[in-house]
Structure 1
């Protein structure tokens, strides 16, 4: 009977995860479900990952951060996927009543953690958003601060830091960054004109080594980055007046730039500034190179490069109070930390029992990648194992 009741409760829980009604905190809408309602001005519970912060909307351009450093704005960006970079799949959330305790500048530990809120679906910064919050279920206490692994951030904002090799515009040069390291420019220049596509004042402008002929331009780091590379995020666009197609590639080197391993090449460039993400997951002392991968004269602007250290992220981390059991996932494992002996039951999303374990202390359980429901003391929690 007990097993049957657990199965019924688990089935109801799984159904709520897949098809939330938004009428209670136990059955929140996903971000994609909320987006589909198209600002109907009704109030719902909604759950998503805090993937960044929204800064401003000006001159038909959205300003936002989805990687550190953060400014501490009064609007979150939430999404269904922890690594989402597509703004059209995110929703801004007005957190003005919670900003002092939860903004990402002063509280970076909430980045990439799940949040459940209740608010009105309405236009916010010209996007489908959530305002007028009436309930707030924050991530658990003692959550891991992942921003400490994202400490490499290049903006190319200092014009006097660029020293060209010659009077030739694309003759190359050295950009001596105060933020990261020295960068070598080849077939590239400092892009601060009104036609350069950039976040703020400037970007790295790649073309050809002879302006209208020669080899494709590129930039690369002249010093190693320690602690490896987890993710690379950058913004890129085609130079404003240039026509036709263009493409670029991203490369890494573990031998101080003697050889370069491609991460991804032939990436089509768009007219508007677009964010790109590359999963590297490579330990060691590394450098990166970014370059055009075709011989057209179309210029490419590269800006706001974020590089994280090599680290294993927790896809979901949860505090199961009042039992003081902490569970989260790392690659290929369900991790736990508990001071008392506990029984843990792990189910597939369809309700099939995978395994039962008795746990105490800190440890992990090997699991194939996928979605799971973890039940401890009649508390069911969704876990994503990568």
Structure 2
């Protein structure tokens, strides 16, 4: 029974009111604590330690490379960049957010370009993305602010290729390509990279022992798809040997192993014999069942998904072949498309997936060194998409 200040029974609802007041007070406190637990973009960039955190920021573009964020003409739904202010244009002050499958329909910028300038709250793992401060594997993404009254002002000249950053070969090897985009860039790169020294299929054995040497063990090579380090001397056709994998399957265009596309080191890699056989001549796509002899790789009847560490490598090798071989000198005109049933046609898919892989797995030190060794010691030409990954979207995006 509730008693009033005169010692007489009070109304029955007094207890309920007190309970409501107490509960409401706790709710306010809890809400305040939750808000206080979120962090700014600046704090998130300084806390790249793998912890789970909630970050609040404004959507300022789509990251496509370490120092490249598109402000318009978006190419995909797999990543967004956020900042502490909606007008931010400096990539060092942006946090790159991975947008996983379940959130792409709502937070992908290609599908939702009106998200530019909106405030979002994201919970996930603070870790590098595109070799840049980032947040991956989000468990929650939510809009936290009203739409801006004016759409954000795009850059003065929207273009999917950034101002050249002055790479070591931009003023010499790539001088006729820098600053171009679309068909102009494609044509310039083809002219540049088709000037090469060709190697024979027998020479490929020795070349791969040099291009794919294990940095930690000069007696070994690193195998594609598995990452295994294996003796250089174990090249051959035995079950536990390594052989020459044509990443652009040689049946796609039926060029075989004759000198030319069949011996181009920019798409030939050492590979476990049985894994090479399992991959066969399949196109590239996401999905399938995990490959027993190569965990992290997936395959089905018509496609192959390499492990995450090789996705970008594969994409850039395929892109190189599509630019290098344009139907000249009796060779087929190679091209990427959206099919995974290309058979012997001179095509490989899927283009959209390869573009995503190029963005999600930037060139590693191993891949860059491989490009340099081919240039210095074997063919005298370079894979431009290792030197400039952003050129992929500039051509195909």
TM-score interval w.r.t. the shorter chain?
0.3 to 0.5
The normalised TM-score by structure 2 is 0.32
Larger % of helix: which? 2
Larger % of strand: which? 1
The normalised TM-score by structure 1 is 0.32
Larger Rg: 2
